[in-house]
Amino acid sequence: MQSIMKKRLQMNMLLIMILTIAGTLAAASSIQINTDQENEDHMLVKKTDDFTITGDGSSKNWNRTEWHELIQRRNHDQSDGYKSEFKVLYSETGIYILYRNEDRILNATLEEHFSELWYEDVVEAFFWTDESTPDYFEYELSPLNYELPLIVTNLEGELVHWIPFANSYHEESDRKTQHKTTIIGGEKRSGAAIEGWIAEIFIPFKLMHPLKKIYPDSGSKWRANFYRVDYDDGATPYSWQPYETNFHDYENYGVLLFE
């Protein structure tokens, strides 16, 4: 009788140990999953001194931060898509963005600032600086180095746009952007066979007026998303964060945490 009870006690202890180990592993797995998910939609934006952009990302300032991937969202099997990635930095005066895109054909014909650049090859950035209002800043740049900055009000999907004043008309303006592009493995002309292209951008915070909270400091948070559209085989969108409807789906933007 004592032998049977002893065996039962040993079996119960073994079962408790198994359940304890399983619970610990499950909890560890759950913690890891949650951490990964948080990392996917949050980005630490490191601070830098102001620097002059070159169009090819060769400034040593870019070594302070890492690349983030733009994910292809539709039109192709993901394994056949181009690689696209970007970096972000900020300074006392503005925000810097660097894009690097694989490509085969330069699909860009527009040769004027403030054109409808989204109908051709383009990179885009959206910054939602204050979540209390449906207003945000949009910036687009083509591989031919033409830009489109916009202030957007999103009234439940109805978009109202304004072009910020004076950034391209006054060379000495403190609202003026800097932007340059470099073509990899080909010429900077419409229809050229290429291997890829790089876009480097500086956006002064002052250009984002009259949006609120446009001057971040350490610990500040913005909502944002980053995009690319390629037209080698129809409009093929890429984005940092997934979206449900279009690039203006601001409620699904990720979070920029300023260092």
Give tens-digit pLDDT for 142-152.
999 999 999 99
What integer is the mean pLDDT of 82-111?
A: 97
150: nearest Cα among 203, 219, 111, 220: 203
Could you give the count of Cα atoms lying within 13 Å of 30 in the half-sphere of its Cβ?
6
What is residue 174's predicted lDDT score, i.e. its pLDDT? Answer: 85
Give kind and range of the element (H or E) at residue 237.
Answer: strand 236-239
Band of pLDDT at residue 32, cut at 50, 70 and 90: very low
Specify the 3-state DSSP secondary structure of 128: strand
Torsion of CA 223, 254, 59, 48, to 10 degrees: 50
Name the pLDDT band for 23 (thresholds 50, 70, 90): very low
* Sign (positive or negative) of CA dihedral 154, 143, 226, 82: positive
- Confirm if 152 and 160 have CB atoms less than 8 A apart: yes
7-11, 25-29, 45-49, range with greatest mean pLDDT? 45-49
87 is written with which tokens? 């970096």
Euclidean distance between the first and the last CA atom of the chain, given in angstroms as a whole number: 68
Give the pLDDT band of residue 80 (cuts 50, 70, 90).
low
DSSP-assigned letter for residue 134 = S
Domains annotated on the chain, with CATH: 45-258 (2.60.40.1190)
